[in-house]
Structure 1
Amino acid sequence: MVAKFIKFRVVEPEKQDWLRGYDAAARYQEREGDLEVPYEHLEGACPLGRWLSDQRRALRAGQMSGERAKDLEALGIVWDTADAVFAENLAAARAYFAEAGTLAAPRHATALDKPVGQWLTNIRKPGGLGKDPKRAERRAEQLAAVDKEWNPAQLGWTVDWQRHHVGLKALLKDGALLKGIVPGVTYRGDDIGRWLTRQRRDFARLNPEQQQRLAKLGVQPAVRAPPGAGLGNAAFQRGLTALAQYAEREQRAVVPRQHTEQITVDGQDHEVRLGVWISNQKSRRDKLSGAQLARLAELGLDWA
C-alpha cells in the first residue's frame, strides 16, 4: 500500500483521476467481493461503473499501461468487453423503464445517450442475447429483473401492443376516464385513444390474455349497430364497406386520394373512389351523425 501511495501520489501526481477511480474500485471490491459493477453505479461521488467501462475501452484501444492493467486485475476486473457493453445498455434500459414503466420501447427511444430502443429490438431477435446459452440466460434474467415482460413476443403480442397497454394503464392511474380516452389522447407520444378504438373493434381477434388484461381495465368489445342503422344512405354505406375492406387488408386507414376500391355488396360489384370519398366526409364532418362519426373512428380515421 505504501508503494502504491508513492507511485500514484508522488511519481504520477497527474494521474489523480485514475487514482480516485482505483480507490473507489478497491472499496467496492472489498465490500462486495467482486467488480461486477452496474454501469450507472456511483461509489460515493465516483461514477465507478462508467469509470470501469472507460478502463476496458482504454485496454482495448491499447492505451493502458501493463501495470495499471495488472492493478485492476488484482482487484478482479473482468475485461470481457461484450459484457461491459451489455452492462452499459442495461443501465440505459433501467433508466428508460424508470420513466416509461416498460421496456416495450419504440426503436427511436434513447436513454443515457444510448439508442436503447434499437438495442432492445436487436436483443429480442433469435440469438440476440449471445451464442453462449449460460450467458444468454444470465442476460435474460437481468432484463427480467428490470421488466419481467421485456420480450412481449413470448407472451403472444407485439412490443407496440405492450407499450400502448402500459400507456392506457398509466392514463387511467392518473385519473383519466375510459370514455374520455378517444383518438387524439396520447401518452409519451403514442395515440392511446386510437389504439383503444382498434382494440374494442377487433376484441374478438385478441388472444385470451390480451382480452383479460383489457377487461380488467374496463375495456369491452365495441357493440356493432345493425347494418345501416343511423349510417345514412346506400352511398355512405358503400364507402364504409370499402374503407373497412381497405383497412383490413392494409392494416391502416391512410388512403391515397386517387385510390379506388373494388367491393361487392349483395352480389353486385361496385367501384368506390375511396380517397375522394374520405376527403368528402372530412370536409362535411359537421353534418355527419354521431353514429356515422363513430363508425369512421372505429375504422381508424382520427379526425372522426
Structure 2
Amino acid sequence: MEAAWRFREREQHLKVPYDHTEGAHPLGRWLSDQRRAFRAGQMTGERAAELEELGIVWDTADAAFAENLAAARAYYEQRGTLAAPRHATVLDKPVGQWLTNVHRPGGLGKDPARADRRAAALAAIDEDWNPATLGWTVDWQRHYSYLTQLLAERARLKAITPGVTRHGGGIGRWLATQRRDWARLNTEQQDRLGALGVTPAKVVHAHTAPARAAAASRAGRGAEAFNKGLQALQQDLAREGGGTPGRSHVEQLPDGSEHRTGVWIVNQKQRRDRLRPDRLRALADLGLEWAGS
C-alpha cells in the first residue's frame, strides 16, 4: 500500500504496468494479485475500500475502453461522425485505429454482456458507429455524414459538385459517384440519400452511346465481382472471428454459390496499385493490412 501511495502521488494515477517495481517492491504484480482476489470474492470490504480510495483500477480493460471512448466522443464533437479514417487521432489517442479494431468481429471483447454494454456506449455517441452492420463501409458512412452536414448548413445540393470537400473528403466527387452507381447501392443507402434529395443520374441509352454503355457494363461486372468477394470475406471474418482465410479457402454464400475467397484476396493484393481508393479502404477496414499501407 505504501508503494502504491508513492506511485500515485508521483504519477497522479494508479495504472501501473504489470512489470513495474516501486523501489524493490513488485507493485504491478501486487496490484494484479489484489484485482484477482477482489474478483474471486477473497477480499474484505475494508481492504477494497482502502484500495478504491487510493485509486486502484479494478478492470484495466474497461479503463482502457473508457479512455478510448472519451477520445471517440471528442472526435464526434469535431466531425459529427464516428466513421473515422484509420489514421485519425484525437486527445493523443489513435482513435481511427481503435475504431477499426472494435468494428472487427470480437472487437468489443469476448464477454457478450460486456460487448453489449460497449456497443451501447458507442451507439449513444453515434448510432451509426458500425457501418458494416448496415451493409456499407466506414468510408461511405463518413462521406454521407459530411454531405448531411453540408446540407444542414444550407448548402444547395446542386452546388455540391466535384471539387467540393469537407474535412479533406471529396464530397462532391463522392456524391456524383453515388448518383452514377445508384443501382449498386442497397435499399437503405438509397433511402438515406433520397431523404436528402439525391436522385440517380440520368441513364444514357445504349443506342446513343454504345461505347460508354459497354464500358459501364464492364465496370458493373467488375464492381459486382468485387462486392461479392467483399461479402464472402465479411462472412468468413464474422464466422471465424478474424484472421485472413488461406489461398485455398472457398466460401459458401447465402445464395448457394461458392466463392474462391482465398484466391480472390491474392488477386486483389497483386493488383493493389490499380484498385480504387474506396476499394482499398473497404479491404483495409476488414483487416487486410497491405490495403492500408
Of 204, 211, 218, 1:245 maps to: 218
Q: Would you say 1:117 and 2:73 are equivalent positions?
A: no
2:145 to 161, 166, 171: 166
Indicate if the aligned counterparts of 2:89 and 2:96 stay in contact, CA closer than 8 A: yes
Q: Conserved in 2, the CA contact under 8 Å of 1:108 and 1:117? A: yes
Residue 163 of structure 2 corresponds to residue 184 of structure 1: yes
Q: Which residue of 2 aligns with 1:55?
A: 14
Shift of 1:238: 3.2
Q: Secondary structure at the match of 1:105?
A: coil
Q: Which residue of 206, 209, 219 corresponds with 1:227?
A: 206
> Which of 9, 21, 24 is the equivalent residue of 1:18?
9
Q: Name which of 194, 201, 205 aligns with 2:173.
A: 194
Equivalent of residue 88 in structure 1, options 51, 64, 67: 67
Structure 2 stretches of 5 or more lacking a match? 32-46, 225-293
Shift of 1:96: 0.6
Query: TM-score by structure 1 length?
Result: 0.57
Q: Does the 8 Å contact 2:205/2:213 carry over to 1?
A: no
Kindly tell me the number of residue pairs found equivalent between the two proteins: 201
- In the TM superposition, what is the alpha-carbon distance from 1:61 to its structure 2 partner? 2.5
Partner in structure 2 of residue 268 of structure 1: none
SS in 1 for 2:76: helix
Return the offset for 1:187.
1.1
Any idea what the Cα deviations from partners look like across 1:46-79, whole Å, max 9, x if unmatched? xxxxx5xx4113566334977x977433467433
**Does the 8 Å CA contact 2:14/2:57 hold for their aligned counterparts?**
no
In structure 1, how many angstroms separate the alpha carbons of the residues matched to 2:216 and 2:204? 17
Letter in 1 for 2:9: W
Aligned-pair CA distance for 1:120: 0.6
8 Å Cα contact 1:56/1:79 also seen in 2:
no
2: CA distance, partners of 1:228 / 1:166 = 38
Q: 1:62 to 1:143 in 2, by over 3 A?
A: farther
What secondary structure does 2:91 align onto? Answer: coil
| TM-score (normalised: structure 2) | 0.59
Q: Which amino acid aligns with 2:83?
A: A
Write the distance in 2 (CA, Å) between the matches of 1:110 and 1:157: 23
* CA–CA separation in structure 2 for the residues paired with 1:75 and 1:127: 33
Q: Please point out which of 104, 121, 145 is paired with 2:124.
A: 145
**Alignment deviations for residues 113-139 of structure 1 (CA, whole Å, 9 cap, x no partner):** 111111111111111111111211111
Query: Secondary structure at the residue paired with 2:14?
Result: helix
Task: Specify which of 151, 154, 172 is matched with residue 175 of structure 1.
Answer: 154
Give 1:246 deviation, angstroms: 4.7
Distance 1:106 1:186, change over 3 A: same
Q: 1:109 to 1:245 in 2, by over 3 A?
A: same
Aligned-residue identity in percent:
56
User: Which one has the largest radius of gyration?
Assistant: 1
> 1: distance between equivalents of 2:58 and 2:20?
12
Alpha-carbon distance in 2 for matches of 1:16, 1:89: 23
Q: Match for 1:102 among 81, 96, 106?
A: 81
How far is the alpha carbon of 1:218 from its aligned partner? 0.5
Greater RCO structure (CA 8 Å; 6+ sep): 2
Over 3 Å counting, the alpha-carbon distance change for 1:82 and 1:63 in structure 2 is: farther
C-alpha contact (below 8 Å) 1:183/1:197 kept by paired residues:
yes
What secondary structure is seen at the aligned counterpart in 1 of 2:16? helix
